[in-house]
Amino acid sequence: MSEIIKTSLKDLSDEELSELLERCGVAAFRADQLRHWLYQKWAADFSEMKNLPAALLGKLQAGYRVFTLQAEETLTAEDGCVKWLSRLSDGNTVETVLIRAPERATVCISTQVGCQVRCVFCASGSKGLIRNLTTAEIIDQVLLPCRYLEAKINNIVVMGMGEPLHNLDMLSRALDNLNAPDKFALGARHITISTSGIVPGIRKLADLHRPWNLAISLHATSDQQRAQIIPPDYRYPLEEIISACQYHRQQTNRMPTLEYALLKSFNDSPEDAARLAALAARLHAKINLIPCNPGPSRYQAPALAQCRAFLDRLIRAGAQATLRTRKGDAIKAACGQLRSRQRTDN
Residues assigned a catalytic role = 95, 335
9 touches ligand SAH (CB under 6 A):
no
Cβ of residue 259: shortest distance to ligand SF4, in angstroms?
Answer: 9
Binding test (CB under 6 A) with ligand SAH, winner from 146, 191, 230, 261: 261
* Separation of CA 67 from chain center: 18
290 touches ligand SAH (CB under 6 A):
yes
Q: Are 192 and 186 in contact (CB under 8 A)?
A: no
174: partner contacted, choices ligand SF4, ligand SAH, none (Cβ within 5-8 A by kind): none
144 touches ligand SAH (CB under 6 A):
no
Residue (of 31, 151, 26, 46) closest to 100 by Cα position: 151
Q: Could you tell me which stretch among 85-93, 130-138, 143-151, 287-295 binds ligand SAH (CB under 6 A)?
A: 287-295
* Separation of CA 108 from chain center: 5
DSSP state string for 61-89? HHHEES---EEEEEEE-TTS-EEEEEE-T
Q: How far is CA 292 from CA 19, 59, 263, 304, 325, in A?
A: 49, 50, 6, 11, 11
175 touches ligand SAH (CB under 6 A):
no
Q: Could you tell me which stretch among 42-50, 115-123, 235-243, 276-284 binds ligand SAH (CB under 6 A)?
A: 115-123
Residue (of 129, 138, 132, 70) closest to 107 by Cα position: 138
Q: Are 143 and 135 in contact (CB under 8 A)?
A: no
Beta partners for residue 214, in sequence order: 193
For ligand SF4, how many residues bind (rule: CB under 6 A)? 12
295: partner contacted, choices ligand SAH, ligand SF4, none (Cβ within 5-8 A by kind): ligand SAH
Cβ of residue 334: shortest distance to ligand SAH, in angstroms?
Answer: 6
Q: Identify which of residues 104 and 298 has a Cβ nearer to ligand SAH in the complex.
A: 298
Q: Identify which of residues 161 and 244 has a Cβ nearer to ligand SF4 in the complex.
A: 161
192 touches ligand SAH (CB under 6 A):
no
First and final CA of the chain: distance in angstroms?
16
Binding test (CB under 6 A) with ligand SAH, winner from 177, 196, 257, 340: 196
Binding test (CB under 6 A) with ligand SF4, winner from 119, 175, 241, 319: 119
Pairing relation of β-strands 82-87 and 93-101? Answer: antiparallel
287: partner contacted, choices ligand SF4, ligand SAH, none (Cβ within 5-8 A by kind): none
The binding track of 212-251 with respect to ligand SF4, each residue x by CB under 6 A or -, is -----x----------------------------------
3-class SS of residue 8: strand
Residue (of 118, 80, 84) closest to 335 by Cα position: 84
Q: Identify which of residues 69 and 119 has a Cβ nearer to ligand SF4 in the complex.
A: 119
Rounded Cα–Cα distance for residues 60 and 65 (Å): 8
138 touches ligand SF4 (CB under 6 A):
no
Binding test (CB under 6 A) with ligand SF4, winner from 95, 163, 268, 329: 163
263 touches ligand SF4 (CB under 6 A):
no
Q: Identify which of residues 96 and 293 has a Cβ nearer to ligand SAH in the complex.
A: 293
Query: Residue type at 170?
Result: M
Query: Residue type at 294?
Result: P
Residue (of 93, 70, 68) closest to 12 by Cα position: 68
Q: Name the DSSP class of 44.
A: S
CB-count burial class (<10 Å; 0-12, 13-18, 19+) for 41 = middle
**In the complex, which residues of this chain contact ligand SF4 (CB under 6 A)?**
115, 117-119, 122, 124-125, 161-163, 196, 217
**In the complex, which residues of this chain contact ligand SAH (CB under 6 A)?**
119, 121-122, 159, 163, 194-196, 217, 259, 261, 290, 292-293, 295, 333
